[in-house]
Amino acid sequence: MRTRKYMEDMVGGQGNVLTHHKTIKDLEKYYATLGDNKDVKEFLNNVTSDKEGILHLFPWSGIVDEDSQLSDTFRVPDPQTGQMRRLISQIPPKEEEMFRNMIRRLNTIVKAAADLDVRIMVDAEQTYFQPAISRITLEMMRKYNKDKAIVFNTYQCYLRETFREVNTDLEQAKRQNFYFGAKLVRGAYMDQERDRAKSLGYPDPVNPTFEATTEMYHKTLSECLRRIKLMKDCDDDARKIGIMVASHNEDTVRFAIQQMKEIGISPEDKVICFGQLLGMCDYITFPLGQAGYSAYKYIPYGPVEEVLPYLSRRAQENKGVLKKIKKEKRLLLSEIRRRLMRGQLFYKPKGNYVPI
């Protein structure tokens, strides 16, 4: 609330610095009467802007900085007195410590991934946690995706807001000059989302039908492809946008391949990859890999007591996937038969791994 009030005062109405195109000059005007105040001067000295001059009002990078305190990150001078005040309540030291530990671990993981040149995909969860996850992931992208997309955020296309959200983040990546990585999924928590919205009386955040979710998925993917193509045509680095099509839906995988062909993005461009869960839909993953597309298996890894509940939840959420397993078993049997007849029982196609 305090943040929204401050933002509205500063921009002079609803919206934010982006929608009002506010620059550092505007902020200086806002504090003009307090020009000699030491705190205000220091605050204004530390404020930065992006390459289009739009203000970074809050130093969001502070949230992924291992040494700065979360509650100190969002401090601004009071426009009347110039005294510094917090926009978020002071967090108890124990929680501050837990948050910092999490950020430290995240930094360790992402640094290791960057050293090994592998990608980090941060999963998306329910909408009531997701804003924090997305914010931190985007800051990690800003910090680590300077020369390539190492960190990927996940976008759930069953949500009504996803197209808008992906566009906003793509714009931020463009303005702030970092590589954007996105894993596109349909979304795994539909029933929970709907039940919670109903019981607390807020609008259902999920698209009304499966078809609407598919439309959202395809529209979002097409927009990413359109932007990649634009960069390719301008001789810009097309890898500034990297997308994982994470789906077991054959129509969606076909749609992605078709769109890539139509607009002239090849598997060798290494900007689009595909992902399916380990043990599911190998009949989609393997042919993709053999046709030269980057194709990944998502492997749940960890202590058995944590992985099994995860897998059973996924099986519950993805009942449709279980039907696909029947198809998979049928295809596997016919492949075994084919190999026996051709004497290729231990045939192993060669891959050529280059990460997207």
> Toward ligand FAD, which CB reaches closer, 56 or 196?
196
- In sequence order, the 6+-apart residues with CB closer than 8 A to the CB of 247 are 184, 185, 186, 217, 253, 274, 276
Least gap, CB of 298 to ligand FAD (angstroms): 4
3-state class of 61 per DSSP? helix
The distance of Cα 229 from the centroid of its chain, to the nearest Å, equals 20
- Looking only at the bridges linking them, the beta strands covering 272-277 and 241-246 are parallel
Q: ∠ CA 196-314-267 to the nearest 5 degrees?
A: 115
Given 54, 57, 185, 253, the residue binding ligand FAD (CB under 6 A): 185
> Toward ligand FAD, which CB reaches closer, 269 or 317?
317
Least gap, CB of 323 to ligand FAD (angstroms): 9
Given 318, 328, 335, 355, the residue binding ligand FAD (CB under 6 A): 318
- Residue 285 within binding range of ligand FAD, rule CB under 6 A: no
How many chain residues touch ligand FAD (CB under 6 A)? 28
Least gap, CB of 334 to ligand FAD (angstroms): 23
Under 8 Å between Cβ of 187 and 123: no
Residues of this chain, 123-182, that bind ligand FAD according to CB under 6 A: 123-124, 154, 156, 158
- Residue 204 within binding range of ligand FAD, rule CB under 6 A: no
CA distance 214 to 162: 12
- Residue 186 within binding range of ligand FAD, rule CB under 6 A: yes
* Residue closest to ligand FAD when measured from CB atoms: 123
Least gap, CB of 101 to ligand FAD (angstroms): 23
- Residue 298 within binding range of ligand FAD, rule CB under 6 A: yes
List alpha helices for 117-206, DSSP H.
130-144, 162-175, 190-200
Which sign, positive or negative, has the C-alpha torsion 13, 127, 185, 238?
positive
CA distance 87 to 110: 29
Residues at the contact surface with ligand FAD, assessed by CB under 6 A? 123-124, 154, 156, 158, 185-190, 206-207, 209-210, 213, 246-249, 252, 275-277, 298, 317-318, 320
